[in-house]
Amino acid sequence: MAIKCMTTAKSQGESKLKQEMKRKHRVEFGSSDESMVPENFIWPEEFKARESVPELHVPHIDLQKFMSENENDIEEVRRLVDEACRKHGFFVLVNHGVDMELMKNVHECMDEFFSLPLDVKQKAQRKVGENYGYANSFIGRFSSKLPWKETFSLRYAAHHPITHDYVCHHLGQEFSQQGKVYEECGKALSDLSLKIVELLGLSLGVPKQKFKKFFEDNDSIIRLNYYPPCNKPELTLGTGPHCDPTSITILHQDHVSGLQVYVDDQWHSIPPIKDSFVINIGDTFMALTNGVYKSCFHRAVVNCREARKSIVFFLCPAGDKVVRAPDEIVDKNPPRKFPDYTWPMLLELTQKFYRSDSNTFKAFTTWLQHKKLATAASSLAPSL
């Protein structure tokens, strides 16, 4: 049974207080009570958003068919996933086995967290160069093209339960119940991700256990996104165009549309579908497939009517695992296209030196080469 979040205030007085907190929260962010979008939130013309774009028709993958023993069902699922991942790396997962009551509880916890006064949320403030904690557009190393959102990022380690402890340590024991909900969510989505990489392995023609074993001890990220309404949504973006540097992304959207994917030189939307997850390939899994499966450019747009919330699980390998495409994949798709690396190396680049975009992996490859040359030169330098 899914763990419930904190009890939401039900009395009229408490409801009014909560509404007032939300109103103050929006003013602090500088959104719906502002007639103009601040200059540092305005994106260049080539990035300007349009809420109305054609829908991207992605396959709806029934995970229960993959888990069945019906060879025809398994072959159908394998073919659909392979086609989608070779073209753009996105598909929708249905009949996935995750308790939707749990996801409802996570959304309730998000509502409570993002409605808190700013000084309370800042107890878990994300530090520059780190990947976990609370962040809004005013916190960080960028001063232009800011995203119109707040986030709360949590570490999930498959073999070391730490999510609950992180929440309690930074926000206090009164948030213990929220921490338990986030921990349970991480466990459910980690388990789901292992089934997804089994399916991807089968679709690639490698033993389906190969990627499962690689990610069994995953050290991943849970990210809670809150996109406030904006009076001039055409001027800004909730999340700028980027490719995920991680391995597999599992996205749960609320009822508000906002995800857009760049395919065939045009932006397309993937609207929310009840009780489903949107899955996409990240740069690290693209490297594991030697580029056979694509990590696709995508973004989040905002609107002037209502807030949008999403829950994201970024599957990442354990820090000591070497990311290297299996020989059987490279032999079919030569030559080897990506350098060997560990996930913390790519994470360091994206958190300290480079803002993720469509060229993140190219920048990473160049950065890695420079680091190796610098290390080699240092080892050859005479000691004084």
Omega before residue 207 within 30° of 0, cis = no
Q: Which residues pair with 334 in a beta bridge?
A: none
* Helix/strand/coil (H/E/C) assignment for every residue in 37-70: CCHHHCCCHHHCCCCCCCECCCCEEEHHHHHCCC
- Residue pointed to by tokens 């000591």: 320
Instruction: Enter the tokens of residue 376.
Output: 């080699």
Q: How far apart are the first and last CA of the chain?
A: 65
92 Cβ neighbours under 8 A, 6+ residues apart: 58, 59, 60, 61, 270, 273, 276, 277, 278, 279
Contact 122, 134 (CB under 8 A): yes
Helices of type H across 117-241? 118-121, 163-171, 176-204, 209-215
Q: Which residues pair with 129 in a beta bridge?
A: none
Q: Which residues are catalytic?
A: 308
- Write out the DSSP string of 330-342: HHHS-S--S--EE
Q: Which residues pair with 239 in a beta bridge?
A: 300
The radius of gyration of the chain from alpha carbons, rounded to an integer in Å, stands at 21
How many CB atoms lie under 10 A from the CB of residue 329? 21
Contact 250, 176 (CB under 8 A): no
